[in-house]
Amino acid sequence: MSWIKARRRRPVAGYAALLLGLVMVTVLYGAVAGTGGGGAQAQSPSSQSDIAAGETLFNFNCSSCHGFGGVGHAGVAPSLIGAGAAAVDFQMSTGRMPAKEVGAENERKPTTFTQQQIYEIADYVQSLGGGPTIPDAQQVSTAGADTALGEELFSANCAQCHNAGLSGGALTYGKDAPPLTQATATQIYEAMLTGPEAMPVFGDGAISPQAKRDIIAYVLETRSETSPGGLTLGRMGPVTEGLVIFLGGMGFLVLIAMWITAKRREPWDAAGSLPGSGSGSGSGSVSVDALDAPGDAWTEH
């Protein structure tokens, strides 16, 4: 009988099988679960605008909800006159637009448009009624930014929705503020400027472009820094910590306690017991099969 088979009825065998199963599921899941697709890369807006190309794209892809000329459609989609290129670039580069359905909260998803196409549509919408323009690389550069000020502004105006650890948060009626783990610097700038969906507008008069850069620097720094204490547990605070201590900590310790107090069984390598002591392992009497396992199996302590 193989080594494993001889031990299949040990109590520890059950735990080992469970552990093996969990490990296999984890490995399989990790292999198949992909990371979320990123949006289109943010680049400096192209100096060449092709408003006509943008109009064509817009009419094919956006006008069904937003109407021709971006006038909007009551109850379906808002007017885009005055929305500005920045709003278009944000919504489309994060994949939120084109929206998958009317009225739903739009979540980040992989975009099907190239950045060039997005710029063209943005230029077209900008031509409809003006609005905030796409920030260039210098405007979102975090060189020389003051992360301390960024922290103060972020915690007073952003953390209550997006969480101090950038893990996002719940809003009312099923909406939520997304985590800030994937947004590019440009997208963050544009989001502050245009106030997408439920997010308020943080205009340049309230939060100056430099202050915006400070906030962006703070966000980028926070999400890229190593977590020195170990796994972040989702950066959601004490909720996950409590789960870990109960399920992980107490669960593990209870298993150890069961081991410490388990009844001693005859060991597998108990050849040659002391005379006068020992149970006379299986003492040559009627061979016992599983039916005659000691009644402990039925004892329910």
Partner 1 sequence: MSTDVNIPKALSGTGSWLDDRFHGARGLRVFMRKVFPDHWSFMLGEIALWSFVILLLTGTFLSLFFVPSMNEVVYHGSYIKLDGIRMSEAYQSTLNISFDVRGGLLMRQIHHWAADLFMAALTIHMLRVFFTGAYRKPREVNWLIGIVLFTLGLLEGLFGYSLPDDQLSGAGLRIFEGALQGIPIVGTYLAFFLFGGPFPGTSIVPRMYIIHVLLIPGLILALITAHLFIMVHQKHTQMPAKGNTERNVTGQPFFPYFMAKGGAWFFFIFGALAFLATFAQINPVWLYGPYTPVAISSASQPDFYMGILEGALRMMPAWEYSRLGHTLSLGVLIPFALPLTIILGGATFWPFFEQWATGDKSWHNINDRPRNAPVRTGVGMAAVVFYGVLWAEGANDVIADKLQVPLYTITWIARILVFVGPAVAFIATRRICLGLQRKDRDLLEHGLETGIIRQMPNGEFIEVERPVSEESRAVLEAKKAPALLPAPGAEDENGVPSPASRGAMGWARGVANRAFAETIVAGNGHGNGHGPNGHEADGHADGHEAAAVGAGEGSGSGHEIGSGSSEGSGGATALPPGAEDES
Partner 2 sequence: MSEMDETLGVSGGFEDAGDPEVLEGPGGSVESAGRHRVIGTPPPTPRLLGGSAEPGSSLVPAQGSPVEGGGHGEERMSGESDYPSHARNAERLVVFFFLLAFFAGCGFIAAYIGLGVFSVDKVFRSNLALGLSLSVTLFSLGMGALIWVRHLMPDYEMVEERHDLRSTNAERAAFQEYFKEGTAASQFVRRPMVRRTLMLATLPLALAPVVLLRDAGPLPGTSLRHTVWSRGRRLLVYGTNQPISPAEFSAPGGMITIVPDGYQDDPDALAKAAVIIIKFRPGELNIPTRYAGNTLIGTPNWTIDNIVAYSKICTHVGCPVALYEQTTHHILCPCHQSTFDATTGATVIFGPAPRPLPQLPLALDSSGYLVAASDFTQPVGPSFWERG
List all residues 6 or more positions away from 78 whose beta carbon is below 8 Å from its beta carbon: 66, 72
In the window 238-257, what residues touch partner 1 (CB under 8 A)?
238-239, 241-242, 244-246, 248-250, 252-254, 256-257
Stretch that binds partner 2, among 1-9, 27-35, 155-163, 178-186 (CB under 8 A): 155-163
Site residues for partner 2, 211-240, by CB under 8 A, read 211, 225-230
Q: CB burial class (10 A; 0-12, 13-18, 19+) of residue 164?
A: middle
Q: Does 287 contact partner 1 by CB under 8 A?
A: no
Find the binder of partner 2 among 34, 269, 298, 299 (CB under 8 A). Answer: 269
Torsion of CA 219, 223, 226, 231, to 10 degrees: 140
The pair of three-digit structure tokens given for residue 223, joined into one six-digit string: 């999400």
**Is residue 214 involved in binding partner 1 (CB under 8 A)?**
no
C-alpha distances out from residue 111 to 1, 97, 124, Å: 58, 8, 19
Cα separation, 194 vs 135, in Å, equals: 12
Least separation in angstroms between residue 34's CB and partner 1 is 19
Would you say 47 or 226 has its CB closer to partner 2? 226
User: Up-side HSE of residue 201: CA atoms within 13 Å toward CB?
Assistant: 10
Contact between 273 and partner 2 by CB under 8 A: the answer reads yes
Figure out which of the listed residues 228, 267, 272, 284 binds partner 1, where binding follows CB under 8 A: 228
Report how far residue 247's alpha carbon sits from residue 149's, in angstroms, rounded to the nearest whole number.
39
At 75 the three-state DSSP class reads coil
Check residue 18 for interaction with partner 2 (CB under 8 A).
Answer: no
Cis peptide before 98 (omega within 30 of 0): yes
Provide the 8-state DSSP code for 107.
Answer: -
Residue 235 contact, options partner 2, partner 1, none, Cβ 5-8 Å cut-off depending on partner type: partner 1
The residues binding partner 2 (CB under 8 A) are 149, 152-153, 156-157, 160-161, 169, 171-173, 175, 177, 195, 197-208, 211, 225-230, 259-260, 263-267, 269-274, 276-280, 282-283, 285-286, 288, 291-292, 294-295
The residues binding partner 1 (CB under 8 A) are 146-149, 151-152, 155-156, 159-165, 167-174, 176-177, 218, 221-222, 225, 227-233, 235-239, 241-242, 244-246, 248-250, 252-254, 256-258, 260-261, 291, 294-296, 298-301
